[in-house]
Structures are given as structure tokens and as C-alpha cells.
Amino acid sequence: MMIYADNAATTPMSPAALATMVRCLEQQYGNPSSLYELGQRAREVLEQARQEIAAVIGADPREILFTSGGSEADNQAIRSAAELGKKAGKRHIVSTAFEHHAVLHTLKRLESEGFEVTLLDVHTDGLVRPEEVEAALRDDTCLVTVMFANNEIGTIQPIREIGRICREHGVLFHTDAVQAMGHLPIDVKADNIDLLSASAHKFHGPKGIGFLYARKGVKLTNLIEGGAQERGKRAVTENTPAVAAMAVALTEAAAHREQNAAPQSALRDRLIAGLSKIPHSALNGDAEKRLPGNVNFCFEGIEGESLLLLLDDRGICASSGSACTSGSLDPSHVLLAIGRVHDVAHGSLRLSLGEDITEEQVDYIIRNVTEVVEYLRGFSPVWRDLMSGKTPFIL
């Protein structure tokens, strides 16, 4: 048995998206900037995809800019807002401690360029409080950036409310919606969003392609200078096949979203209930306001890395934090942000289920995680100290 339970890291491509990509690579290989028929056919594919993507989130096609993925969209959104802020003499940005590194590292860079950043604490439930966002706003705040749903613990933030507050105060609002796109309803107008980032490989599209929504009137700053592609905002010959595949994947995800979400959430809850029976374990993040496929646990007295390797032997692909941080020995900044202490944060496990997960697979995961945690605790000195009372249990 092989169970892919790491959909927050990346997803397999949908067959329809893959077929579109191959067809486009074979047939629409023209450069969309070329004037002859073959180029113009590629241009049509590109603009058709832009319309489809815009329609899913309630945007105008001219508000969609294609990028190489979520990280680039985050970088460009934040850099653009900072540039606009600088021109208006505003150099303060509000964000949260559990954002993706594409956001956090961009903010770090801006700090070294003279910006001031307020990172809000996240509560133990993994949720940001809108009133705390409001309280952090200052006269010189040029941007608020809060992710739609967290990539590690899956918690869904009160985006519409935060957006409303930003509108009232005349501050730009960016959201990294990479985990939410295709999985949650998103309407940029109703949700009061000015800038939004998305990435195709998190919703069954190809890797290396994504998009940035920028509300009409929000002037973007280039990260890449050169030709006049993307209305002059991103030079690079457009990746027409990937864009076309992304549009197919997103349209498909949006069309089946509601139908998928109910059974997927039910199986997520079955998995949570099963893993909760493991002694000294705890779910990370709110149980209800979470992505339909996300399960994230801490198990006291074990190492997350060993757990992952042994689960891999049993055919389960999972992750300890985010793919970007595995390989480093630091515990996840997200788990630390929600108040997990170092030792506990080390014993974490993220299982992000696909829409096609079955009850049988969930039960297989429960059985195997339970066995492996027990096995690892069997020779863990940390666990021995906990059991003998030498150190107190936290969970």
C-alpha cells in the first residue's frame, strides 16, 4: 500500500490538467508575443486561461498576473505594496509569526531596507484575531499580509473580517492563499482582498506556475525586468502549457469543491479521532476552522523525523512540518508560534489528505502511526524520563 498524505507539500496533477499541458506543449508551442497565427493561438490559450482563473475568484482577467508560483507571487505582492508605501512615506507592515517563509523572508529583507514589521502572535488555536490586526495598524502602515490558511496546521483565518478592517483604514491587504485556492471558497471582492497569491501545484496543477491577483489600481513593482509580457509587470516568455493546465486544474477543483469537501472532512475527523487515542498526543490548530484535508499532531517523547522514516517504510508519505523546513533540525516556526515548546514541537506529524482518501486508508494510517509512536517511545530516553516522572508531561 502507498498512501500519499502530503498534499500540502504538493499534489499529483489531475489527468485533465496533464492532458491539457501535453496537448499545449505539442500544438501551441508558439510564443504568445509573436504576430503570426501560431503565436496568436498561444496568446488565445493564455488569455482564455486568465479568464477562467479570474472567474473562479470573482476577479477581472486584467487583475491576474502569472508567476512562477506562490513564492514569487508573495514576493511581488509584498514588494509592490512596500514600494507604494515608501512613496507615501509609510514604512510599517503588519503580518503574523506563522506565515510561509516566502512572506517572512521578504519581510526580513524589507526590514533591512528600513521598513518596520509587526508580527502578530498566533493563538494556541492557530487563529489570528482581527481585533489584534486592527490594534496593530498605525498611520504609517502600508500593508497587512495574513495567510488564508496555514500550510502546516491548516487553520483558516478570518480573512473577510481582516480585509474589511484594512479597507476601513485604507491599508492594502495581501493574503497568501496558496493552501486555500481550490479547497475553500474565495471571492476577492467579498473577501476585501487587494493582493492574493496562489500556486498551481497545490491544487493538482503543474509545479512552477502560479498567479498573483492584484486589484485594479494597485500598481505592481517588477521583480523581473525585460520584455513587455504580463502588461509589463513580469518579463519572461509566458509558460503557456503550464498556465493552461493551471486553469483546467483550478476550474475542476472549484467545480468539485463542495462535493469533495464533505467526505474529505469526515475522513479527516476520523483520522483526528483515531490519532487522539494515542496517549500524550495533541492536535495542532483548531479542530473546525481547518482545511478539509489537514491533520497535524504532536506526540510527546518522540522525534518527528524518525516517525516519518518509519512511516515511509510502511508506505505512508507524510511530513513533520513543511517540506521547506524538513532537513533542518529547528522545530517548525508555526508550532512554536502557536505556543508549542521545543521538545513537543519536535515530535510533530502533518498528514495532508487528498480528495480521494478512503476510510480504509485512514484506518491504515491510524494503525501504523499508533504502532510506530509506541515503538519509538520504547527506546526514547525522553519518554523514559517522562514515564518515571523525572520530567513532567506537557501534553
What are the residue numbers of the active site?
Answer: 324
The region that residue 209 occupies, defined by phi over 0 for left and psi between -120 and 50 for alpha, beta otherwise, is beta
In the bound state with ligand PLP, the residue whose beta carbon lies nearer, of 95 and 179, is: 179
- Work out how close the CB of 193 gets to ligand PLP at its nearest, in angstroms, rounded to a whole number: 15
- Work out how close the CB of 19 gets to ligand PLP at its nearest, in angstroms, rounded to a whole number: 22
**Cα distances (angstroms) measured from residue 212 to each of 5, 193, 235, 287:** 27, 12, 15, 30
In the bound state with ligand PLP, the residue whose beta carbon lies nearer, of 100 and 233, is: 100
CA distance 305 to 242: 34
Three-state DSSP at 34 gives coil
DSSP state for residue 222 in the 8-state scheme = P
In the bound state with ligand PLP, the residue whose beta carbon lies nearer, of 49 and 302, is: 49
Task: Yes or no: say if 345 and 332 are a contact pair by the CB < 8 Å rule.
Answer: yes
- Radius of gyration from C-alpha coordinates of the chain: 22
- Work out how close the CB of 152 gets to ligand PLP at its nearest, in angstroms, rounded to a whole number: 9
Cell (9 digits) for 386? 517522562
Helix-helix angle 304-313:359-378, to 10 degrees: 130
Helix-helix angle 70-87:101-112, to 10 degrees: 30
In the bound state with ligand PLP, the residue whose beta carbon lies nearer, of 74 and 191, is: 74
In the bound state with ligand PLP, the residue whose beta carbon lies nearer, of 102 and 376, is: 102
Q: Which residues bind ligand PLP (CB under 6 A)?
A: 69-71, 74, 100, 102, 147, 151, 176, 178-179, 199, 201-202, 210
